[in-house]
Amino acid sequence: MEQKRYGHFDDAHREYVITDPQTPWPWINYLGNEDFFSLISNTAGGYSFYKDAKFRRITRYRYNNVPMDNGGRYFYLVDNGCVWNPGWKPCKTPLDFYECRHGMGYTRITGCKNQIEASVLFFVPLRKWAEVQKLTLTNHSQEVKHLKLFSFEEWCLWNAATDMENFQRNFSTGEVEIEGSTIYHKTEYRERRNHYAFYHVNCPIDGFDTDRETFVGLYNGFDEPEAVLEGRPRNSHAHGWSPIASHYLEVSLQPGESRDFVFLLGYIENEQEKKFTAPQVINKEKAHQLINSLDTTEKVDRAFRELQEYWDGLLSIYHVRTGNDKLNRMVNIWNQYQCMVTFNFSRSASFFESGIGRGMGFRDSNQDLVGFVHQIPSRARQRIIDIASTQFPDGGCYHQYQPLTKRGNNDIGGGFNDDPCWLIFGTVAYLKETGDFTILDEMVPFDNQEGTEVTLFEHLKVSLDHVIRNLGPHRLPLIGRADWNDCLNLNCFSWDPNESFQTTENKSEGSKAESLMIAGLFVVTAKEYVALCKFLAKRMRNEELGMRNGDYLASAESAGGGNHHSSFLISHSSLLEEASRMQQAIDDMIDAVKRDGWDGEWYLRAYDYFGQKIGSHENDEGRIFIESQGWCTMAEIGADEGMTAKSLDSVKKYLECEHGIVLQNPAFTTYHVEMGEISSYPEGYKENAGIFCHNNPWVIIGECIAGRGNDAWSHYAKILPSYVEEKCQMLHKVEPYVNCQMVAGKDAARPGEGKNSWLTGTAAWMWLTVSEYILGIKPDYDGLLIDPCLPATAGDYTVTRRFRDAVYDITIHPNGSQKGVRQIIVDGTPASGTLIPYAPGRHQVEVRL
């Protein structure tokens, strides 16, 4: 195996430390938590935006550039004729020392050259619409150093799509203002925009530039800006063309002296009436306030401590101590961190997603929130409402929506028939984590149309009804445009390369295309729905009993004095009827899968438009697919008849390889018009037999449910970043501290090569897998269910789990067993079954398998 390494984990600081700037691909980090966000690579490439990477882009980025991460926030130092950058790029002057530390919401890049150290801490403070860049310059030499320092940011003209497209206009619209050490970017502020951005430094400056051509030179790149090479700013004022912001400072440092400079990239919105203070002069009041709140080292350090404490809090909700560092660091740090990032960004902005394409995905966001709900439940709650508001009255859904407007995206529309089920998946996770059932009473519109509001509970109901009402000839769910696998397009039939596989339907009338994956997903989520109905009915009965016993008044008061049933005016008996109605649909679906969805050794994947089998031993290529094996084993369909065990064995036999489980096998070697995009990829990539990491956990959970701990663990460790990091940083290529969407499969030219890092449902699924199924701590309505599934070699471990108003210290003694809880002792008293009943306070729990 190759040995070249580019960095290592530093668990004590919760950082990944990159020691060579020439990583096999830009290794990035995300800054920001709620509104203001930045992407930053290990050489300080990347960009910033407010809420929406498409509509409120603050700094410019050229996608798919050469080199890939060109463009970013750059500091240029000129030391006696030598020009260099702390992050090595863009000048690429060889450094005497380089280090990039990516941490939780911050990145610190340090470079040393000729005994000058330049260290920049980048972060977005909590609740602030700004990126802080604290630059510390230190003179480690014995002589006085006279340095010239240039900062650099390039403004994007707000709408990132038109910024790249409509430059015939944009070259005439750019406007800036300069005031002291602050450069304001106010393009289009004169007309409909109420926002501007600024770039500031907390000391007097000796010059500036705001016009890119003047600063860089028409025939130069970022690696040789003319102003820097000449060591002389131009004090240029941009009128149209391409506005930038660059400060110029002359800095003298005594031997041993160190000095901080706080640079601040901020975003401001003004009320319509308060846009200007004089004709054409923007109102800078809020900018001054923001600057004032972060204009000293002390203030910045305080904001940074606050950010670290925020992460201390988030990461203390679930914390494990095992004898395995590689597991600990993923569970306690990086997996949870990636879940926050995917919750924030869905699939919008990364170094593989431009930020101008997709907004928030319906299915994607529901899955993401399952990995995030334990961190900040209130944000997950709002997300559920936002998502449900893009549903149609018949239960179908917009496939995507824009984060800024929260409206469904018409370009892609709906018709992805797995989408509705995911709303149950997300909502149930929220209910179990929080016990907050009031969310079910929230009045939520369809398609954001005022006047159409029904309760969220009703949205859940129409979601499942959408599946039941759209069954095909085998009584299995019709697939629509596609199910989770966006590339299995069974109704598309496209011969035109200008058509989108996802939105083209050349033939849907009379389609017989059905999905076994949706069948499994339906059974899993409908079971959850039945359990929810029964739980609510039980709760309602208890409330009624309580009331008859005289609690009526107290209860009515606590419910605001009005209707004392906290749940949506639905009666106890109608909840039970609803539960049995849905149970019938589940039973029917299970029968349909057993009858027409079983291929003998595994579950079929689908029926195509003509009713032909997909994912069967009868096919030449694509004989077995992962999705239906995952979902039907999670649903335990035919477990008693041995189907789940056979399916899981078939996965091991045909789909497993050194780097994980491939999506299907054998890979398609030609284009199949009746299957669409899946067969458009060369063998081993993406949906055509790549290791699509997102779906590996479905099988792993299937293994856990079947009690096969050794198999679950070996699948899990294959795609666990910390294991991959140790094995092959160079081959894997993308960031070794997070999961990527896809690793090239066994049929590819370079098996093991990763792509599409960061924004993938893999994060949430890896979290669910390890936290609930492997380590076995699963929130439920009444408490925590304990049911680990471990490799036989696992030693004792302790999980500290904050759950609602309680904290549980749970020590598990596996005693060589893979699964099966024998005894749970809570605060010295044996519990019955596998449930730790919820009770506020701190509790000590001992579990023996």
Contact residues for ligand GLC, defined by CB under 6 A: 347, 361, 363-364, 484-487, 502, 677, 686-687, 694, 741, 760
CA distance 801 to 318: 5
Through-space distance between the first and last CA atoms of the chain, rounded to whole angstroms:
38
At residue 61's C-alpha, the angle toward residues 57 and 64, to 5°, is 135
**Smallest separation, CB 283 to ligand GLC (Å):** 41
Least distance between ligand GLC and beta carbon 357 (Å): 8
The one catalytic residue among 260, 486, 599, 747: 486
Helix spans in 503-571 (H): 516-546, 552-558
**DSSP string for 502-513:** TT--S--TT---
Secondary structure (3-state) at 665: strand
Q: Residue type at 404? A: L
Contact 121, 134 (CB under 8 A): yes
Cβ proximity to ligand GLC: between 137 and 763 the closer is 763
> Minimum distance between the CB of residue 43 and ligand GLC, rounded to whole angstroms?
27
Tell me how far apart the alpha carbons of residues 716 and 711 are, in angstroms, rounded to a whole number. 8
Q: How far is the CB of 549 from ligand GLC (least distance, A)?
A: 50
Residue 484 C-beta: closest distance to ligand GLC, Å: 4
Q: Torsion over CA of 459, 462, 463 and 464, rounded to 10 degrees?
A: 130
Is residue 471 within 8 A of residue 522, CB to CB? The reply is: no
Tokens of 822: 């024998």
Residue number with CB closer to ligand GLC (283 or 365): 365
The C-alpha atoms of residue 384 and residue 400 are separated, in whole angstroms, by 14
Dihedral pair phi/psi, residue 835, rounded to 5°: -100, 130
In the complex, least distance from residue 556 CB atom to ligand GLC, rounded to whole angstroms:
45
Mark out the alpha helices in 139-284 (DSSP H runs). 160-165, 167-170, 212-216, 226-230
Interacting residues of 58 by C-beta distance below 8 A, sequence separation 6+: 47, 48, 49, 50, 155, 156, 197, 265, 267
Residue 741 CB, nearest distance to ligand GLC (Å)?
Answer: 6
Nearer to ligand GLC, 381 or 694 (CB): 694
In the complex, the smallest distance separating the C-beta of residue 18 from ligand GLC, rounded to whole angstroms, is 26
Look up tokens 């320092």; give the residue. 149
Nearer to ligand GLC, 338 or 502 (CB): 502
Query: By C-beta, is 687 or 747 nearer to ligand GLC?
Result: 687
Minimum distance from CB of 364 to ligand GLC (Å)? 5
Q: Give the nearest residue (CB) to ligand GLC.
A: 486
645 Cβ contact list (under 8 Å, min separation 6): 639, 706
Least gap, CB of 358 to ligand GLC (angstroms): 7
Q: CB count, 10 Å around CB of 305?
A: 10
539: tokens are: 């709760």
Could you identify the residue written with the tokens 């649903």? 635
Residue 698 beta carbon to ligand GLC: minimum distance, rounded to whole angstroms: 12
As a three-state string, the secondary structure of 120-163 is: EEEECCCCCCEEEEEEEEEECCCCCEEEEEEEEEEEEEECHHHH
Is 413 exposed, middle or buried, given 0-12, 13-18 or 19+ CB atoms closer than 10 A?
A: middle
What is each CA distance from 168 to 239, 240, 376, 687, 739, in whole angstroms?
14, 11, 44, 39, 40
Q: Which residue has the tokens 């009713």?
A: 611
CA distance 190 to 175: 9
Distances (CA, A) of 826 to 834, 838, 839: 11, 11, 11
For ligand GLC, which is the closer residue by CB, 111 or 761? 761
- Asked whether the bond before 840 is cis by omega within 30 degrees of 0, the reply is no
Please list, in sequence order, all residues whose beta carbon lies within 8 angstroms of the beta carbon of residue 354, skipping any fewer than 6 positions away: 53, 63, 160
As a whole number of angstroms, the distance between CA 558 and CA 196 comes to 46
Angstrom distances, CA of residue 364 to CA of 212, 400, 402: 39, 9, 13
E strand intervals along 464-515: 514-515
CA nearest neighbour of 440 among 284, 604, 259, 570: 570
**In angstroms, what is the minimal distance from the CB of 627 to ligand GLC?**
9
Extract the runs of DSSP E, i.e. beta strands, from 142-293. 145-158, 176-179, 182-185, 195-201, 207-211, 243-253, 258-269, 276-278, 281-282
Which pairing describes strands 656-657 and 660-661: parallel, antiparallel, or unpaired?
Answer: antiparallel
Shortest spacing between CB 55 and ligand GLC, in angstroms: 19
At 754, the amino acid letter reads G
Running DSSP on this structure, what letter comes out for residue 349? Answer: B
Answer whether 268's CB lies under 8 Å from 238's CB: no
> Is 486 among the residues known to form the active site?
yes
Give catalytic residue positions: 486
